Amino acid sequence: MSSPNTSLDLALDGGALTARLVDIPSVSGDEQVLADAVETALRALPHLTVDRYGNNVVARTNLGRAERVLLAGHLDTVPIADNVPSYVEGDLLYGCGTSDMKAGVAVQLRLAATLAEPNRDLTFVFYDCEEIEASRNGLGHLAAERPDWLAADFAVLMEPSGAVVEGGCQGTLRAEIVLTGTRAHSARSWLGDNAIHKAVEVLARLSAYEPRRVLIDGLEYREGLNATRIDGGVAGNVIPDECTVQVNFRYAPDRSEQQAADHVREVFEGFGIRVTDTAPGALPGLDRPAARAFLAAVGGEPRAKFGWTDVARFSALGVPAVNYGPGDPNLAHKRDEHCSLSAIAEVEERLRAWLTGA
């Protein structure tokens, strides 16, 4: 197979540029080629100052405007599932990352290339490793090591949202419930204590669990507590002495991480709980002036964001942020992942109008 074309022509329209981005593989941890291409393309633009930290590229205007807006998008994708290179059918562009979120990155690049005199100063952030463990997230690294690069009055995370403003995000917590017993030969099972059987009570509590629906700033967030994995068993003739049930709690942003952990422990009172991973949610903040102005400019009815996004990182930095991108979140990570070409053009047009006052 020949090597992909790694140059980026920012004069292409948003759909064609998305296709070019998709055709440069960038699975999490392997973003360098794409980061190089993004950096090269942006450094050719005289109206931008470009910096790089690892495989994270940040470009900024410095026009002395009264307000600075940050647009962010991650360069990585989940593993390719025989869905690269990209192809077009009618209005739909198919390929790994089309929806999540190379369409959004294409819009960022188009705006970076064509808005030399925006009505607000702009910061464009392209970062790595969003789709994997939080410790490797490029935006997290920038927040820790180069927080001045992320200074802004308002941020738009170009995550797939179906061209609808999605406010805030859920928090997420993963925990393990470890069940123990006594190992024995299955022919003499009465001598043992089956740890797998003890999972019945855990699953019963999950089946009976009634998740909250919470209204915040007019947006409804739905929580969920679910088993995502069960591990146990030694051999076909052994009573197992250990079984682990992994649960994932997606919680509304009115709970803190500690409150979420306390809730999970309450649900599974009597069992040992080990929290293995947690990330806070973000309140929508749609009452902030910058958010109200953005909503007025792009239109539509905002909705709650289901899932965790890096909006939470901006919230922790004191920067109000929303999710807004052309991809469909329901198509993210699917084998037949695709994005509407007209949605890419629509989001670019709306953002351009907002950033120029046109």
Q: Please compute Rg for the chain using Cα positions.
A: 23
Question: Does the annotation mark 130 as catalytic?
Answer: yes
- Regarding beta strands 68-74 and 154-157, do their DSSP bridges make them parallel or antiparallel, or are they unpaired? parallel
Residue 76 designated active-site:
yes
Residues 6 or more apart whose CB falls under 8 angstroms from that of 121 comprise 60, 61, 62, 63, 64, 65, 67, 68, 69
> Which letter does DSSP use for residue 69 in this model?
E
For 258, the 3-state DSSP assignment is helix
In the chain, how long is the greatest CA-to-CA distance?
80
C-alpha dihedral (144, 147, 153, 154), degrees to nearest 10? -50
250: Cα separation from own chain's centroid: 14
Which entry of 31, 39, 76, 100 is annotated as an active-site residue?
76
Choose the catalytic residue: 121, 130, 131, 223: 130
Which amino acid, 51? Answer: D
In degrees, to the nearest 5, what angle opens at C-alpha 58 toward C-alphas 113 and 297?
A: 60
Residues involved in catalysis: 76, 130
